[in-house]
Structure 1
């Protein structure tokens, strides 16, 4: 990822950390004592105790696995790790506010889409030399880099794609995954005919997750951003949103659905398709009363507009970054262990179905022999790309601006052409700040 002339002050302003926050950060640096074991903010870098902040600690399915890693580390190192969490949809804003005010230390779990914005705050340690010890794959390493530096150690690297429920497909007489938009629509109508409250495609329709529209825009031919110019508002993006509205009006997708709602519907056997990361299998199957659901979950290539087109998917993953200051050294060691120790990553995979980001971890039989993971990599991650908007500190605002316009179309408050024109204007304004 690369920056586009966005200053640190601009990144702080984006998150509501104004002049006082910037001045406060500078004051902390000015008051910091010099000498070994300290950093610019006065924190003891040699402290064995540190914080670990992660949204996954707020999720029922993920929390036990991470707490187990933390407990093992504390026992082995004789240290104390304070676990901190915020809900995913609030995580970035909460984290950046705390980080800007000096209230966050230690290790922090970051979505790869947030790395650029957080790195621009100037609070993260450069882990370039540490990363060389992990045995990470090149793709994984790239996910933790910003502006030529390694700010994150890759914990997992994958993609967001479509998951299908083979039980419902079979019940509807659908013998193979649809490969084109036309075939996909036909399949959705067949599934709707099952009745019983089935939502054929549990697509995102709430603002919080409506960034899922981007791969569909790309499917219809919109590049989103090209030569620093926003291309949302072109015919392809309008066609994509018009199509999404058609699915909504025909009740082939449902209103007010986010990722968590989609997982719940899928877990109840009420949805045949939904978008998720590879983590979806583990999370959704664990929440479902149907203990055979995991066997019915299949990775599916996103349908294309025309045969021969490249299926679209969004790169997805998480890294662990380190905040400069208190506990920095121990937190770095913890991050390296958590993301690269083979026994730890294999056990984490067994409990959460998240593939390791190291060559050795991926080669472990427990990982390599998992059909779902292998198929996901081949069908979805293979053609996945990062968002062109990740390079901007305003990425979250960009996604929200587009999402609100798409939702306005879905609820009948705006026409696709008008909404995409407005979205383009808002996004253009955001990236020029």
Structure 2
């Protein structure tokens, strides 16, 4: 019995040692695995550089770090430089895992062949369960889902209700005739208020011009891609711009950035912008709940009653790069960014409409007075005519330059439009 007992104790001791050794090995293995799992991903874009969004973006990254244990490094540029910088970074072999893009930037980057198909890395089922088909369609090319919706709406007309009331307008103008009368009334108030800060420089000038061209019944291109801008409608639109400048309703050397700043300072009655206009107002000290008193959206005035209001589709998407070594970590960040918690923070403080089915169903989204103006415009929104073009920047430069020639009196409206058509045909 004793011998058996000794034998058992002797056999138990090594077993206990083995168990401790296994536990130690597992602990070390777990620590090593944890170290391996802590990844540092690079997220790029432009909104994190803007004052109105900096704090929100910091909260987004802090939430991701807390939830995953991973690190995320933000790399940002101005909106105008983002497409080029994303391509430079991928071509140079620098780390780039996930990026923010808008509709125009998306097309440029997607055509470079550097994006991962999110149907593969995120799963088609996840995407279909969480996003509406119309939102997914914006980031889908030939059946491949290169962009995940992050925020979708339209670039609409934004106005300051307080200035309009001072000018005697309790409701917004619905036709162009009413619009021009309203601009005259705002101008008559005196001071340094710009009645309508339509963009007259850089790529945003061409972007603002397109929906007005559509309003006049024109377009840059036909459906088959041939140039269509050499038309009476385009000439009428350019002449209207010239008349607006002559009357002091619009101003030269105004881009989207300048318009936003002046609008936030109460020095602009109308301008064109996306939902991010709210963020500028909030960053200037306006309470999110009071934004609609100084910043509201409206449908673009129509040429005649019965016409369809025009606006351009606007949206931000998230893309993941196919050469990323951290695709799973990038997917986790993408899912964090569209989570209800983050989406509602972005919505409340910057006006960015959420796109997931769950967030869109929240009462605070459905009942938001500020967002409703954009939603109304989005119902008839169209993609910019250059949205799927690989040479979009060249097209926009030509449109902007010829419109500027006309506004500066260096060309007649007819000549500017004819030259615009000739230059577009030569691309």
Normalised-by-shorter TM-score class: 0.7 to 0.9
Residue 318 to residue 403, structure 1, CA distance change in 2 (3 Å): same
Q: Is structure 2 residue 336 aligned with structure 1 residue 337?
A: yes
Contact 2:158 2:297 in 1 (8 A): yes
Q: 1:138-163 CA distances to partner (integer Å, 9 max, x unpaired)?
A: 22111211222110111000000101
Matched residue SS, 2:157: strand
Q: 1:42 is matched with which residue?
A: none
Matched residue SS, 1:225: coil
Once the two structures are superposed, the pairs formed by residues 304-319 of structure 1 within 5 Å of their partners are 304-319=302-317
Q: 1:218-249 CA distances to partner (integer Å, 9 max, x unpaired)?
A: 00011322122111121111111110111011
Contact 2:261 2:280 in 1 (8 A): no
Mapped to 2, the partners of 1:267 and 1:330 lie a distance apart of: 37
Contact 1:221 1:236 in 2 (8 A): yes
Q: 2:105 is matched with which residue?
A: 114
Over the aligned positions, Cα root-mean-square deviation in angstroms equals 1.9
Residue 176 to residue 93, structure 1, CA distance change in 2 (3 Å): same
Q: 1:53 is matched with which residue?
A: 44
Matched residue SS, 1:81: strand
Q: 1:219 is matched with which residue?
A: 215
Q: Quote the offset at 1:104 in angstroms.
A: 4.5
| Count of paired positions | 384
Mapped to 2, the partners of 1:197 and 1:385 lie a distance apart of: 34
Residue 358 to residue 175, structure 1, CA distance change in 2 (3 Å): same
Residue 356 to residue 293, structure 1, CA distance change in 2 (3 Å): closer
Q: Quote the offset at 1:344 in angstroms.
A: 2.0
Once the two structures are superposed, the pairs formed by residues 387-406 of structure 1 within 5 Å of their partners are 387-406=384-403
Q: Quote the offset at 1:64 in angstroms.
A: 1.1
Give the counterpart of 1:420 among 404, 417, 420: 417
Residue 46 to residue 248, structure 1, CA distance change in 2 (3 Å): farther
Contact 1:172 1:191 in 2 (8 A): yes
Q: 1:370 is matched with which residue?
A: 368
Taking structure 1 as the reference length, the TM-score comes to: 0.85
Which of the pair has more CA radius of gyration?
2
Give the counterpart of 1:75 among 46, 55, 66: 66
Q: Quote the offset at 1:364 in angstroms.
A: 1.3
Q: 1:243 is matched with which residue?
A: 240
Instruction: Indicate the larger mover: 418-427 or 217-226.
Output: 418-427
Matched residue SS, 1:157: strand
Q: Any gaps of 5 or more consecutive residues in structure 1? A: 1-44
Contact 1:263 1:280 in 2 (8 A): yes
Give the counterpart of 1:181 among 176, 180, 192: 176
Matched residue SS, 1:114: helix
Q: 1:160 is matched with which residue?
A: 155
Mapped to 2, the partners of 1:259 and 1:139 lie a distance apart of: 27
Once the two structures are superposed, the pairs formed by residues 255-266 of structure 1 within 5 Å of their partners are 255-266=252-263
Matched residue SS, 2:148: strand
Q: 1:196 is matched with which residue?
A: 191
Please identify runs of 4+ aligned residues in structure 1 that moved more than 6 A: none
Contact 1:230 1:427 in 2 (8 A): yes
Mapped to 1, the partners of 2:131 and 2:158 lie a distance apart of: 27
Mapped to 2, the partners of 1:355 and 1:118 lie a distance apart of: 24
Q: Quote the offset at 1:285 in angstroms.
A: 3.9
Mapped to 1, the partners of 2:37 and 2:210 lie a distance apart of: 44
Q: 2:270 is matched with which residue?
A: 273
Matched residue SS, 2:104: coil
Q: 1:37 is matched with which residue?
A: none
Mapped to 1, the partners of 2:200 and 2:88 lie a distance apart of: 28
Taking structure 2 as the reference length, the TM-score comes to: 0.86
Q: Quote the offset at 1:81 in angstroms.
A: 0.8
Mapped to 1, the partners of 2:179 and 2:239 lie a distance apart of: 16
Contact 1:143 1:157 in 2 (8 A): no
Q: 1:132 is matched with which residue?
A: 125
Contact 1:47 1:327 in 2 (8 A): no
Matched residue SS, 1:158: strand
Residue 137 to residue 77, structure 1, CA distance change in 2 (3 Å): same
